[in-house]
Amino acid sequence: MNETILRTWRRLPLPVKQQLRPIAERVQTAGKRIRRQPVVNQLAESRFKLQLPAGLSTVPYAPSEMSLEERLFLYSLVRGCAPRRVLEVGTSEGGSALIISAALNDNDNGGQIVTVDPLPRIELDPAQFHGRLHIVRGFSPEAISTAAEMVDGPFDFIVIDGVHIHDQARKDLEGALAHADEHAFILLHDSFHFGVSEAIREVVEQEPRLHDCGYVCNRPRPVGDLATHAGFRLLRWGPEVVDPLPLVAPMWESLGKVPPHDPALINHDIYWCQYVEPCARCQALGVVVAT
């Protein structure tokens, strides 16, 4: 038992101690067993080391009409996909651009964002964007080519949140796809709007390499008397089934190893092989189940 728990335990009145003793014993036994398992130890240690990233604190306060779920999703998706070149259609007061910039900054891999709007209204301190934001004052889709010239390569992450009518949403999507990386993710806000969802359906139906990943933020909210807004719809540009090898290969190469994309490893898992049943390769290496 650690010192604090021991001190608290000593101060407890005897009847409480008697009641708690069987539970305390069970916890101690389980703790000892878990401590003997190196994989579990490694996982627990890395979890304790995790800290909340600095950029996350900007998420609730960014001047945007996006809901909290949408803001968290946007931040997390940019963290997860780690894009290098982001295009945003529809800047307004810079709220979503602020969230994206914060995530890019936390990623720390040189990611930049270009946001396009005929009338951007950002009043935030430019320092809050960490030098990652470029603004193009102009109309999508025409201004997207100017945006593309500001970054060195096609966009690998695209957010479309401009005018929510069918004709414009379709032009925004087609215009953005003309400058998209072959593995780009495309996120459309206010995609519960019927015109926006129809534009998505039409473009997805005409582009075999564009895949609909559905409503990844799915709480609609009414705006005005007809249209329903909100909602994030995610699209993916690329092959139908993604090959993980190009994503994992650089890491394995940096370790001087060959990526484990080998049929002999199809049933290998560090936990399973140590605690349940060694795979064929582990058996050949002499791994036995830990007791």
Ligand X SMILES: C[S@@+](CC[C@H](N)C(=O)[O-])C[C@H]1O[C@@H](n2cnc3c(N)ncnc32)[C@H](O)[C@@H]1O
* Positions 123 through 142 that interact with ligand X (CB under 6 A): 139-140
Picking from 109, 125, 199, 129, the residue whose alpha carbon sits closest to that of residue 162 is 199
Site pattern 20..59 for ligand X (x: CB under 6 A):
----------------------------------------
Choice between 139 and 185, CB closer to ligand X: 139
Task: Establish if 175 lies at the interface with ligand X (CB under 6 A).
Answer: no
Query: In angstroms, rounded to a whole number, what is the distance separating the alpha carbons of residues 173 and 180?
Result: 10
Task: Locate 129 and state its tokens.
Answer: 């964007």
Choice between 114 and 273, CB closer to ligand X: 114
Task: Establish if 278 lies at the interface with ligand X (CB under 6 A).
Answer: no
E-state strands within 220-276: 221-222, 228-229, 232-237
Task: Establish if 163 lies at the interface with ligand X (CB under 6 A).
Answer: yes
Query: In angstroms, rounded to a whole number, what is the distance separating the alpha carbons of residues 193 and 216?
Result: 15
Q: Which of 73, 117, 217, 273 binds ligand X (CB under 6 A)?
A: 117
Q: Which residue stretch of 10-18, 115-123, 211-219, 275-283 sits at the interface with ligand X (rule: CB under 6 A)?
A: 115-123
Q: Which residue stretch of 110-118, 217-225, 262-270, 278-286 sits at the interface with ligand X (rule: CB under 6 A)?
A: 110-118
φ/ψ (deg, to 5) at 132: -100, -10
Q: Which residue stretch of 7-15, 41-49, 93-101, 234-242 sits at the interface with ligand X (rule: CB under 6 A)?
A: 93-101
Q: How many residues bind ligand X (CB under 6 A)?
A: 19
Choice between 143 and 273, CB closer to ligand X: 143
In angstroms, give the least distance from the CB of 162 to ligand X: 4
Please state, as a whole number, how many other Cβ atoms lie within 10 Å of the Cβ of residue 25: 10
In angstroms, give the least distance from the CB of 116 to ligand X: 5
Alpha helices in the chain (DSSP H): 3-11, 14-35, 38-49, 68-81, 95-107, 144-149, 166-177, 194-206, 245-254, 270-275, 280-284
In angstroms, give the least distance from the CB of 152 to ligand X: 22
Please state, as a whole number, how many other Cβ atoms lie within 10 Å of the Cβ of residue 247: 11
In angstroms, give the least distance from the CB of 219 to ligand X: 16
Task: Establish if 226 lies at the interface with ligand X (CB under 6 A).
Answer: no
Picking from 91, 96, 103, the residue whose alpha carbon sits closest to that of residue 71 is 96
Picking from 241, 240, 190, 232, the residue whose alpha carbon sits closest to that of residue 214 is 232
In angstroms, give the least distance from the CB of 217 to ligand X: 13
Angle at CA 241, nearest 5°, toward 236 and 247?
80
Choice between 97 and 273, CB closer to ligand X: 97
Choice between 106 and 117, CB closer to ligand X: 117
Task: Establish if 66 lies at the interface with ligand X (CB under 6 A).
Answer: yes
Burial class, 35, CB count within 10 angstroms (exposed 0-12 / middle 13-18 / buried 19+):
exposed
Contact residues toward ligand X (CB under 6 A) are: 64-66, 89-93, 95-96, 116-119, 139-140, 161-163
